[in-house]
Amino acid sequence: MGKKDVLVILPAFNEAECIGAFLDKLKESGVCERADVIVINDGSTDKTSQIVKNRGFEIITQIYNLGYGCALQTGYKYAVRNNYEYLIQIDSDGQHDVCNIENILNELKKDEFCDIVIGSRFLDESVSFKISGVKRFVIKFFRFIIKRSTKQVVLDPTSGLQGIRRRAFLYYSYYNNFVSNYPDANMIIQMLLNDFRIKETTAVMHARETGKSMHSGLKPVLYIFRMILNTMVVIMRERFKKRR
């Protein structure tokens, strides 16, 4: 690890039913020849860790389930410590097609002024599964909040498929610069208000076939309220900082 300039991180919590097939696709696609890959095992209680190790991939295992945001920040800190220039974060459940990695990386590298590239479901050439009415409402709501607070348009503010340049993931790695839960539109607003540049690119996404989504059951309702609160906190904090 550490010999390439690109790190692909896969946060995983109890993904034993999905992660093996996805890691196989990473190998078959040739991604591992261009980038280092590491799984951030967020305290899984199933066979996620064993499956990853059996396939020869690097893994960081957190003793407890600390949440999606903490898993991502662990990956950012690892990337900083090991001197990577680019980071791609992608889900381990197979919803994000492996072809997105090459596309996002190319977009990130060809524009040296871009800090974050988001894989978007809502561009003309994107391919995605049908999302629920609740999810669509949430996305439209946060599009509106982002436009009002930053004057910029982001079509897919809840996409976890992202490519990040070192300057941005270095910022994320610092204490209190990244939320431990639901790091979506709130982080986009924070980065835009701090003059980081964000762009979107086409993405290919699939419906989840097995396993349990972290947004199942009543979790989407909690997600909406937590995201609204976190986003308002970010906006107020950043505006206060600029007034000082």
The pLDDT tens digits for 62-107 are 999 999 999 999 999 999 999 999 999 999 999 999 999 999 999 9
Q: How far apart are the first and last CA of the chain?
A: 42
Instruction: Label residue 54 by pLDDT band (50, 70, 90).
Output: very high
Strands (E), the chain: 6-12, 36-42, 58-62, 86-89, 116-120, 162-165, 198-202
* 29 contacts 98 by C-beta, under 8 angstroms: yes
Q: Summarize the confidence of residues 30-44 as an average pLDDT.
A: 97
Q: Exposed, middle or buried: residue 151 (CB in 10 Å: 0-12, 13-18, 19+)?
A: exposed
Q: Is the pLDDT of residue 26 over 50?
A: yes
Chain mean pLDDT for the chain = 91
Topology of domain 6-243 in CATH is Spore Coat Polysaccharide Biosynthesis Protein SpsA; Chain A (3.90.550)
The pLDDT tens digits for 189-222 are 999 999 999 999 999 999 876 655 554 444 666 7
Element (H, E) at 133: helix 133-150
Least trusted range by pLDDT, from 18-32, 64-78, 179-193? 179-193
Report CA dihedral (158, 125, 9, 113) to the nearest 10 degrees: -90
Residue 186: helix, strand or coil by DSSP? helix
